[in-house]
A and B are shown apart, each in its own frame.
Chain A
Amino acid sequence: MPQPSWFNRLSIFAGLAFLYLPIVVLVVYSFNASRLVTVWGGFSTEWYAAAINNQSIVEGAKISFLVAATSATFATALGSLAAIVAVRIRRFRGHHIFNGMLVAPMVMPEVVMGVSMLLMFVTLGIDRGPVTITLAHATFTMCFAAVVMQSRLAELDPSLEEAARDLGCPPFLAFVKVAVPNMLPAFVSAWLLSFTLSLDDLVLSSFTTGPGASTLPMKIYSQIKFGVTPEVNAISTIILGVVVFGLVASRIVSRPSAKSTVAV
């Protein structure tokens, strides 16, 4: 068993402190009664009340959730298909282009994807709004969903499906009855990942939206362009809370299933 040295402990501590201190500061100051960022004016939840009563923010949040839920569903479906193609079929005509298209959106700067989608929607004369944002998000997040599904598919024991086939199950049915149930936790994580990525996105949404449809990040962005306000801290804390809750929940959900896979 390896033992972490003092240097290992120090690196972990310093690294995690760097990752978390700014978030802690943000959360703490969301409860600040003072409007000034550096002055502590006592504990208060007034900024939360202000955020929840801000009609424009609530409207943005509604659009964001709707877009994220829809695009994540598309992304999970498309990403799963892409993962099955990449892991199980592997070689077919044009598989190089396919694999390239599956990796590229993950490293492609969002500005580039945003620009190209904007130009396509404009050229085709499609009205831009929540629908076009959803299409753009589904395309961008399906690649992440595919990565999650691919790693799960690659881990699956092929002998299980072979056994099913040997017992007379047709290949497709063997896949549906053996592989798919084992992939359920991966479906959940792929959906959650796509959902969060969509919920976070500013750049792609800004390029693919039309008049009147502003997502939550777009609203936050236009607010913080003018400076720091405790109200944005409150909104941010709520979003962080939702994300952390989702992550902890998915960790708990995926745990027992990991055991059951071993038991199978």
Chain B
Amino acid sequence: MQSKPNLGRRALVLVPYVWLAIFFLTPFLLVLAISLSSVRVGMPPYEPLYAWQGSLLSIRLNLENFIFVLGENTYLFAYLTSLKVAAISTALMLAIAYPLAYGIANCSPHSRSFLVFLVIVPFWSSMLIRVYAWMSILRNDGLLNSLLLHVGVISEPLRIMNTETAIYIGIVYTYLPFMVLPIYANLSAGDRTLIEAARDLGCSRMAAFWRVTFPLSLRGVAAGCALVFIPVIGEFVVPDLLGGADTQMIGRTIWIEFFNNRDWPVASAVTVLLLVILVIPIVLFQTRLSRTPT
């Protein structure tokens, strides 16, 4: 459709554009502005960035919040922990999701659509509830421990709840469908004749997989990794409910800063730095996505 832009067309673009600009972009600019402000008593609890003194407009940009955050080990540690948790859980998810997606892609079309449906159902059901389900399993007097004690594998309950292990279990569990679906979509769209050709030319099943199927599925793998890695960095619910005090992730830090400490300029600075960390994978993800033919 290559017709000249007309009024209706312009209005069509403007409605969602303006909505996103107001409710998505502007708030981010505000976070940036407040991170350059300083705290004060009152509502809103931060100093305005600019002031009129007669005809003189003075703008004060306060970098102290950033200096404070970067100099404070707790924040630095939280950023690094979040990156580490996101990287390890992405790898774990890939290890579980790839065989699952590959298995589904190898099924008949009829069972495929049913199996994909089964993968989607947990994704649609509440994340909070799914994390809660693990709470009763992982607790010291939870189902897993009482089962293991009963069988006699262990003599003392394992401490899983409130540890980093519990965070990994929770994150892998709640984000798994996001990894399975892009890989499956990629694998099921792949050309089967390529594998047949490789097999006909004497390639073993294993070799055909590693030399044909796997390299061709890397785009799906990349999409899956991006879809889980980026949000996991800022994850709040799982570390808050399953994790312990020793694993502080940045999403939880921000939450605590806002609700308990009420120092909004510092909390905004923490958020801005998180965004800076996120920008790299998001840009990579977007360029990759726009290259994908639809």
Contacts and interface: CB of A to CB of B under 8 A. Distances in A.
Interface of A: 1-5, 7-12, 14-16, 18-20, 22-23, 25-26, 29, 36-38, 78-79, 81-82, 84-85, 88-89, 92, 94, 97-113, 115-120, 122-123, 135-136, 138-139, 142, 146, 154, 171-172, 193, 196, 199-200, 202-203, 206-207, 217, 220-221, 224-225, 228, 232-233, 236, 239-240, 243-244, 247, 251
A92 B234 CA distance: 33
B222 to A, nearest CB: 13
Nearest to A83: B16
A110 B48 CA distance: 26
A208 to B, nearest CB: 10
Please give me the 8 A-B residue pairs with the lowest Cβ-Cβ distance, nearest first. A109-B234, A116-B27, A15-B100, A11-B99, A8-B103, A22-B133, A82-B16, A139-B23
Contacts of A16: 100, 115, 118-119
A109 to B, nearest CB: 2
A101 B13 CA distance: 13
Contacts of B105: 2
Given A109-B234, A115-B31, A115-B271, A12 B137 contact: no
B236 A110 contact: yes
B98 to A, nearest CB: 9
B127 interface: yes
Contacts of A196: 124
A171 B2 CA distance: 12
B43 to A, nearest CB: 7
Given A5-B106, A101-B21, A200-B128, A119 B34 contact: yes
B16 A81 contact: yes
B27 A247 contact: no
A230 to B, nearest CB: 9
Contacts of A202: 127-128, 237
A92 B13 CA distance: 9
B69 interface: no
B106 A8 contact: yes
B132 A19 contact: no
Interface of B: 1, 3, 5, 8-9, 12-13, 15-17, 19-21, 23-28, 30-31, 34, 43-44, 96-97, 99-100, 102-108, 115, 117-122, 124-130, 132-137, 139, 141-143, 146, 173, 176-177, 180, 192, 226-227, 230-231, 233-237, 241, 251, 254-255, 258-259, 264, 267-268, 271, 274-275, 278, 282, 285-286, 289-290, 294
Given A3-B106, A7-B99, A139-B19, 15 more contacts: A2-B106, A8-B102, A78-B15, A99-B290, A105-B24, A115-B267, A115-B271, A119-B268, A122-B44, A171-B1, A200-B125, A202-B237, A240-B125, A243-B121, A243-B125
Given A122-B44, A202-B237, A98 B9 contact: no
B179 to A, nearest CB: 11
B268 to A, nearest CB: 7
B121 A247 contact: yes
Nearest to A87: B294
Contacts of A220: 128-129, 132
A217 to B, nearest CB: 5
Contacts of B122: 19-20, 23
A85 B258 contact: no
Contacts of B251: 109, 111
A88 to B, nearest CB: 6
B149 to A, nearest CB: 10
A228 B226 contact: no
Contacts of A88: 1
22 contacts: A2-B107, A2-B108, A8-B99, A8-B107, A11-B103, A12-B107, A12-B115, A19-B177, A22-B134, A22-B137, A23-B122, A79-B16, A110-B234, A110-B236, A112-B234, A119-B268, A122-B43, A139-B23, A206-B259, A224-B135, A228-B132, A239-B126
Given A117-B27, A240-B125, A247-B120, A109 B146 contact: no
Interface of A is mostly: helix
B136 A25 contact: yes
> Which has the most chain A C-beta neighbours within 10 Å: B102, B104, B129?
B129
Contacts of A19: 118-119, 122, 173, 176-177
A118 B44 contact: no
Contacts of B19: 78, 139, 142
Contacts of A25: 133, 136-137, 143
Nearest to A150: B294
Contacts of A247: 117, 120-121, 124
Contacts of B192: 2
Contact of A117 (B23, B34, B126): B23
